[in-house]
Structure 1
Amino acid sequence: MHSKSSEFSVVPQGPRSCQEKAFTDHYQVLKDIDHGAYGQVILARHLRTGAKVAVKVLPRSMWENLVHSEILAMKTLNHPNVIQLFQVIETHKQIYIVMEYMVGGSLFDLVPPGGMQEKEARRLFKQITSAVCYCHKMHILHGDLKPENIVLGARGNIRIIDFGFSVMFKPGKKLTQFGGALDYLAPECVRKEVLEGPPVDSWSLGIILYFMLTGQRPFKAASKELRRKILDPKLKFPWQVSAKAKRLIKKILTVDPRARLSAEEILVDPWLNQGEEKLPFHDVPLPNLSDPTVLTMLFDMGYDPYSTWVSLSQRKFDEVMASYLIIQQQISQGAGCMKPLGRRVAPRPCPRDPSIFPALPQRRASEPAIHTFPLPCEHHWPQEAKESGQKSFRRASVPAIRLRFLHEKPPTPRVASQHHSVSEAPQPCPSIAASHVSQDATAVHPRGHRKGWKWVRQRIAACLHRLCCCTPSCDGENEAPTPGEQKPARFTNRVVPT
């Protein structure tokens, strides 16, 4: 069994500790906020969203075990009165814990010398107790509750910060280690006894409430004398503290941890609930990570949809999830709190996007976007036309007219395949059909260019006669054409309906 105290010598890290590329690629350092034995707290700006964040920089080698317990606790918790974790960046030298930035200062600076008004103290203490009760329901012991670790936001609500001495506990199992400032340690911690987790935080809540109402701590003395006063507490209250508040503090600051009020019992105390409703913050679900509005903004910033889905579903607390949580928080605070985007990344162009590729028609900014992907109701071109490589097609509203040609002599396989494709392709009218035949015949006729056109003209005339009138069949069906001469095609005495 051993103890850990938060009263260590200060080890400032200096500005160079925040110049690693893994951090500066996403954040801009603005100024230092605080230095301590644990490391350094700085104010930074998120480059993608422009939001200000607080970053806790810890040396990896010295505090690796403590940092991992702190990160685990912050990843588990989601409560309106617990600091919001955005991102965790780990390098070989440093660990960066990126959190929301609270502009109101700490509770220690907020309490005046004579104490706060009971109404305001009751409002803030209810939020503190609600957050501690939630932590205990999630089996997390904060371990270092004090006014310096309670900060105030812009809207007057508090956040509990600094989970560096937090411990994951199991109900009914005793703890063998503890930490925190001596002024706020429970008697069982001073005696270095095997202890349970939640009563330790409850004792700290009693000290905090006394400080809020009086402006001073209940036990003040040197280290040895202070331990004696904690083990045998004799509380003295100023005249302005009400009787109900005194009774609540005495029930909390009980030496026996089994008789001490828990955080859940404190929340139902009459003094804490007079004239106000209870806060329904006991069971808070995890944040919604599938908000379509936030996802749309992420995709517009250039984030890959699949990588975004993996990051949010696995709760990686990386750059993607940090951007999501920051945007979600800005939206919840109102449109006036939205910051201009920083380093904007243009999305990758799509081959079907008419606004990027000049081969497609451009649209004006005032015109609505045109869908370039095929819709189910759209007509598709015939497969034969696609395979033949023709550039002009018939409209879907024009009926197809089939043209049949009777050849005097069986053509070669190449010519036959081409004639078949021409005869099978749907044609809109004789003129279009003739143009298609001319294109096809010119490409496949074995004769020269001049003789090929003569053959084309004869075919066009034959097609027109075939469609428009009845022509008796001619003699000489078995005669073969002489070289360089093309005989007209033979027709039957049948009328083809148009």
Structure 2
Amino acid sequence: MTTTPLSHLNNCDTNSPITSLINKHNHHHHSILLNNNDEIELARYGLRVGSTLGTGTYAKVKSAYSEQLSHKVAIKIINRRKAPADFQRHFLPRELSILQQINHLHIVQVYDIFSYGSKLCIVMELAKTDLLDYIKLIGKLNEDKARKMFTQLISAVDYLHQINIVHRDLKCENVLLDKNFDVKLSDFGFARIIQTNELSHTYCGSAAYASCEILQGIPYYAIPADIWSCGVILYIMVYGSMPFDDSNIRKLVRYQLEKKIHFSRYKPLSYECKQLILSLLEPDIKLRASIIQIKNHDWIKGRISSNINNDSPTNISLLGIGKSIPKIFNPTINNMQESTIKMMKTTINDNYHISTIHRKNSSTQIIDDSLIITKSLAKD
């Protein structure tokens, strides 16, 4: 696969290979649902289509067998006729260019990108499951298993940051697991090249994983925001529940700023793991852990003084989340978890949920008008 120069990322050059690929054969009309013609087209590329893995408003992910690679793959098919104009103009060209530049053991590998008719097809590595489904199935992870997966995730995030790429949508659904349950980071729909000390202005991702600076609707540094999201993921790994109640954005931000993170006495956790989580979910970005500090942390290194956390923290318990529960996000537990799973669990991300913060749920309160994010802000 040819590599696109970095200059194409931000300029969206209409003559670039990526943009030309997107615009190719734009005059054809196809439905988002695969039909016989779709399967015939994909067969020309040596792809025998299998089951549906996920669907979105204008995209679908299916399994397929690649005759060229001689193994199963995942194919993401985007219907450009249904995709928003801003997504096609800003986010899609950037995503495709980034996908062609990255190569890491713990990032989903992209094998090919091609278009037919109004469809764009991304052929990529097939995963077994995602982290959210895995935790829903088996419950919270023990610290050894969580350490292995989290270290792999940090390795992928560190790689991206080293080449000035920020993900901006880190969440359990985007942490895929292969047949060996090794991490494969996915979904670069909101990823972008970021320069040193450059502020980001696109408020993207899921509120449950978003840092306090993003939820306040102010320009933010994307690398520390990625770190915060990693902290939420680690908490979910070891507790099988969310660190914050996201059903009320105003209250969510207040709890984040006041460091009101509940560590349940019913779920033993090492002191080192708890301290790492606190350093990741630090509201002050100057004090928030860096990648280097994470990699050198005692918990990551396996230096554990105690596996029992018996203290009763002063932090409040959020709607009973801290109580012992067998599975994550059981809809019968409380309304917070019902709203969380509805927002979080999308097998395929449409790559265009800028207004995640401004949901249509009448119970959701908006902090102020700065949080009503519109498509016009989606410039970076």
| TM-score when normalising by structure 2 | 0.65
Larger Rg: 1
Which residue of 1 is the match for residue 66 of structure 2?
46
| Conservation of the 8 A alpha-carbon contact between 2:75 and 2:122 | yes
Question: Residue by residue, what CA displacement relative to the aligned partner does 1:76-108 show, whole Å, maximum 9, x if unpaired?
Answer: 1111000001000123411111101112x1111
Alignment of 1:94-105 (within 5 A): 94-103=119-128, 105=129
Which residue of 1 is the match for residue 368 of structure 2?
none
| Conservation of the 8 A alpha-carbon contact between 1:83 and 1:99 | yes
Matched, 1:215 2:271: no
Which residue of 2 is the match for residue 86 of structure 1?
111
Shift in Å, 1:261: 1.0
Q: Distance in 1 between matches of 2:244 and 2:211?
A: 12
Matched, 1:166 2:191: yes
The correspondence for 2:231, drawn from 176, 181, 206, is: 206
Alignment of 1:368-447 (within 5 A): none
Distance change >3 Å, CA 18–CA 207, structure 1 → 2: farther
Alignment of 1:338-357 (within 5 A): none
Please give the secondary structure, in 2, of the residue aligned with 1:162: coil
Matched, 1:271 2:290: no
Question: Residue by residue, what CA displacement relative to the aligned partner does 1:460-493 show, whole Å, maximum 9, x if unpaired?
Answer: xxxxxxxxxxxxxxxxxxxxxxxxxxxxxxxxxx
Moved more, 89-98 or 141-150: 89-98
| Conservation of the 8 A alpha-carbon contact between 1:22 and 1:89 | no
Distance change >3 Å, CA 147–CA 243, structure 1 → 2: same
Q: Which amino acid aligns with 1:41?
A: V
Q: CA-atom RMSD, angstroms?
A: 2.1
Question: Residue by residue, what CA displacement relative to the aligned partner does 1:234-271 show, whole Å, maximum 9, x if unpaired?
Answer: 01112311111111111110111122112232111111
Matched, 1:254 2:290: no
Which residue of 1 is the match for residue 18 of structure 2?
none
Which residue of 1 is the match for residue 42 of structure 2?
23
Alignment of 1:230-241 (within 5 A): 230-239=256-265, 240-241=268-269
Shift in Å, 1:227: 3.9
The correspondence for 1:181, drawn from 196, 199, 206, is: 206
Matched, 1:76 2:101: yes
Q: Distance in 2 between matches of 1:155 and 1:250?
A: 30
Matched, 1:145 2:165: no
Which residue of 1 is the match for residue 157 of structure 2?
132
Q: Which amino acid aligns with 1:115?
A: K
Q: Distance in 2 between matches of 1:18 and 1:194?
A: 45
Q: Distance in 2 between matches of 1:190 and 1:37?
A: 25
Shift in Å, 1:226: 3.1
Q: Distance in 1 between matches of 2:120 and 2:76?
A: 8
Shift in Å, 1:114: 5.0
Greater relative CO, 1 or 2 (CA 8 Å, sep 6+):
2
Q: Distance in 2 between matches of 1:238 and 1:209?
A: 15
Which residue of 2 is the match for residue 286 of structure 1?
none
Shift in Å, 1:36: 2.0
Question: Residue by residue, what CA displacement relative to the aligned partner does 1:414-473 show, whole Å, maximum 9, x if unpaired?
Answer: xxxxxxxxxxxxxxxxxxxxxxxxxxxxxxxxxxxxxxxxxxxxxxxxxxxxxxxxxxxx
Distance change >3 Å, CA 40–CA 114, structure 1 → 2: closer
| TM-score when normalising by structure 1 | 0.50
| Conservation of the 8 A alpha-carbon contact between 1:18 and 1:29 | no
| Conservation of the 8 A alpha-carbon contact between 1:245 and 1:271 | yes
Question: Residue by residue, what CA displacement relative to the aligned partner does 1:330-352 show, whole Å, maximum 9, x if unpaired?
Answer: xxxxxxxxxxxxxxxxxxxxxxx
Which residue of 2 is the match for residue 243 of structure 1?
271
Matched, 1:32 2:52: yes
Which residue of 1 is the match for residue 32 of structure 2?
13
- Identity percentage of aligned residues: 28
Q: Which amino acid aligns with 2:43?
A: T
Shift in Å, 1:275: 6.1
Matched, 1:226 2:252: yes
| Conservation of the 8 A alpha-carbon contact between 1:165 and 1:178 | no
Which residue of 2 is the match for residue 106 of structure 1?
130
Shift in Å, 1:17: 9.0
| Conservation of the 8 A alpha-carbon contact between 1:44 and 1:52 | yes
Question: Residue by residue, what CA displacement relative to the aligned partner does 1:9-49 show, whole Å, maximum 9, x if unpaired?
Answer: xxx93223970655330111111100124511111111234
Matched, 1:55 2:92: no
Shift in Å, 1:220: 1.7
Please give the secondary structure, in 2, of the residue aligned with 1:175: coil
| Conservation of the 8 A alpha-carbon contact between 2:80 and 2:119 | yes
Q: Distance in 2 between matches of 1:67 and 1:17?
A: 26
| Conservation of the 8 A alpha-carbon contact between 1:18 and 1:24 | no
Distance change >3 Å, CA 38–CA 131, structure 1 → 2: farther
Q: Distance in 2 between matches of 1:236 and 1:275?
A: 23
* Structure 1 alignment gaps of length 5 or more: 1-11, 277-498
Q: Which amino acid aligns with 2:301?
A: N
Question: Residue by residue, what CA displacement relative to the aligned partner does 1:208-250 show, whole Å, maximum 9, x if unpaired?
Answer: 0000000001012414333443343301112311111111111
| Conservation of the 8 A alpha-carbon contact between 1:17 and 1:94 | no
Q: Distance in 2 between matches of 1:219 and 1:66?
A: 29
Q: Distance in 2 between matches of 1:130 and 1:49?
A: 27
Q: Which amino acid aligns with 1:230?
A: Q
* Structure 2 alignment gaps of length 5 or more: 1-30, 305-380
Q: Distance in 2 between matches of 1:86 and 1:111?
A: 28
Distance change >3 Å, CA 149–CA 207, structure 1 → 2: same
